[in-house]
Structure 1
Amino acid sequence: MTVSNGQEPKDNGRQSADLPNPNGTPESQTMAGLAAEYAQKAGLHRNSSGHVDMLKSAGGVQGIAESIVPGLVFLVAFTITRDLAVSLIGALAAAAVFTVARLVQKRPLTQALAGVVGVGISAWLANTTGKAEDFYVLGFFTNIAYIAGMVLSIVLKWPIAGLLFGFVRNEGLDWRKDPERLRAYRLGTWIVVAVLALRLVVQVPLYYMGEAGLTALATTRLLMGAPLYILGLWVAWLVTKPAPQPSKPSSSAD
């Protein structure tokens, strides 16, 4: 999914976020560098047509599969066997397969390794307590951490949406000097916060239902994972879109 930023790019087709401007204060240079690096790692790239790829920002098809398949394998295996150990081994094996696939493809391992670690911790928690629903507890704390970080960024007037989208749109950090743009990016960040909070509102009650709510918990975890994240990111992008600049009337010779 690609959406236009509504402005002509200024970099003649460069494929990633701008490097920080060497001019300015050391603080602004540092923040610019961090923001540019974050935007690149998040998969937000600008092409020569001024589009951003929302699918890629979620890790691409393979990245989405890496986030969905281990949990799906766990759910299916536990539903069929009712054996927690077998289900946890299946989830870990699925995560390991993606890591091996990235090795074969010679692609960066960061996302796959993070997935293996996440699945490993989730499996350890479920195995320790003997409760299948505890396989999903780590996701709750991850959501809370992201919410806290994004709310803090809003309070400090460095909203995450601005740090991500500002470089894709070739705004750099100039948006912070414009109260309207700052408000827009704060709103965009609140939208992503709402997505993360909605996950907790729906899934935490299902978790407390115990094994009776496991199927519903696992299903909502899949549906409210990457698909809902992409939707929230897309809405945030649209909401923060700059107003079109009025075109200057061309002057004609006398």
Structure 2
Amino acid sequence: MSEPRDPDPQPTAAEIFGQALGGAARKAGLDPAKEASTGHVVWSAMGGWRGVAESVIPGLVFIVVYTLTIDPDSGDGDLWLSLGLSVGIAAVFTIARLIARQPVSAAIGGLLAAAVAAAFAVFTGDAANNFIPGFITNAVYGTALLISALLGWSLIGLAAGFLMGEGTAWRADKRKRRVFSWLAIAWAALFFLRLGVQLPFYLADDVTTLGTLKLVMGLPLFAPLVAVTWLAVRALYGRRDA
């Protein structure tokens, strides 16, 4: 007599992780199952005008104010003013979302990131240390994505599998595994590229160039890779399947 089958099998760790990644992607507007133009998807992933402003303006204000207040003798800018304005603007964005009763997760994330970065700089008295949290984030994301690709459990694949309703079944398809692995490697390369380009300027204590590079290598590189990822996933599954 055969044993009764479990009517409600427990999800595996990979499935739970895939659901979490897929849920985050869906909230960001990256759902391949939806009929949307690539431009619309990329714009949604960046959060629209408000999201772009929340991502760019605090960092831009920091680097502009710091550069304009550099003392010719010491070579240092006004750290407190630069950080105060940067964190203050991030706080204003968060408050504006609260008042408008809009989702505040992105704004709060930006505020916390600005506050943590400011704390690094304040406690050490070195403006360049404002960029340390960003280095850590890039290193962690890049390493996680690369390892996932090498192990055949691409984080991109886990997210896409959940969004497309097939869980981890994509791993049985060689074409999907190959594409998802290369997408994860591409994202890892982006994070490592940021580290490789920016770290020398951090070591040289060139705050102005470092801040400029962080802005240039932020959304301008993020947006095209989002588009490539979106198009690749849609090509794998096709509009009919979606």
TM-score normalised per structure 1: 0.77
CA distance 1:170–1:54, change in 2 (3 Å): farther
Gaps of 5+ in 1: 1-21, 246-254
Paired position in structure 1 for 2:196 = 201
Paired position in structure 1 for 2:210 = 217
2:227 is the counterpart of 1:242: no
CA distance 1:51–1:166, change in 2 (3 Å): farther
Paired position in structure 1 for 2:222 = 229
Letter in 2 for 1:43: G
Q: CA deviation at 1:194?
A: 0.7
CA distance 1:178–1:50, change in 2 (3 Å): farther
Q: CA deviation at 1:169?
A: 5.1
RMSD between aligned residues: 2.5
1:62 and 1:179 map into 2 onto residues whose CA distance is 40
1:222 and 1:214 map into 2 onto residues whose CA distance is 12
2:96 is the counterpart of 1:117: no
1:158 and 1:226 map into 2 onto residues whose CA distance is 26
Q: CA deviation at 1:150?
A: 1.2
More helix, by proportion: 2
Letter in 1 for 2:31: H
2:56 is the counterpart of 1:68: yes
2:15 and 2:237 map into 1 onto residues whose CA distance is 27
Residues 1-254 of structure 1 mapped to structure 2, 5 A cutoff: 26-27=11-12, 30-31=16-17, 33-46=19-32, 48-49=34-35, 51=37, 53-81=41-69, 82-168=77-163, 172-210=167-205, 213-240=206-233, 241-242=235-236
2:121 and 2:166 map into 1 onto residues whose CA distance is 45
1:134 and 1:31 map into 2 onto residues whose CA distance is 32
1:96 and 1:54 map into 2 onto residues whose CA distance is 25
2:32 and 2:236 map into 1 onto residues whose CA distance is 16
Q: CA deviation at 1:61?
A: 2.5
Q: Do 2:22 and 2:160's aligned partners in 1 also have CA atoms closer than 8 Å?
A: no
TM-score normalised per structure 2: 0.81
Q: Deviations over 1:169-218 (max 9, x none)?
A: 565543222011111100011111111111011100011111xx221111
Q: Do 1:192 and 1:236's aligned partners in 2 also have CA atoms closer than 8 Å?
A: no
Letter in 1 for 2:153: W
Identical residues among aligned pairs (%) = 35
**In structure 1, the residue corresponding to 2:184 is in which secondary structure?**
helix
**In structure 2, the residue corresponding to 1:242 is in which secondary structure?**
helix
Letter in 2 for 1:221: K
Q: Deviations over 1:39-67 (max 9, x none)?
A: 22343134653655122123333222212
Letter in 2 for 1:26: P
1:159 and 1:76 map into 2 onto residues whose CA distance is 39
Q: CA deviation at 1:235?
A: 2.5
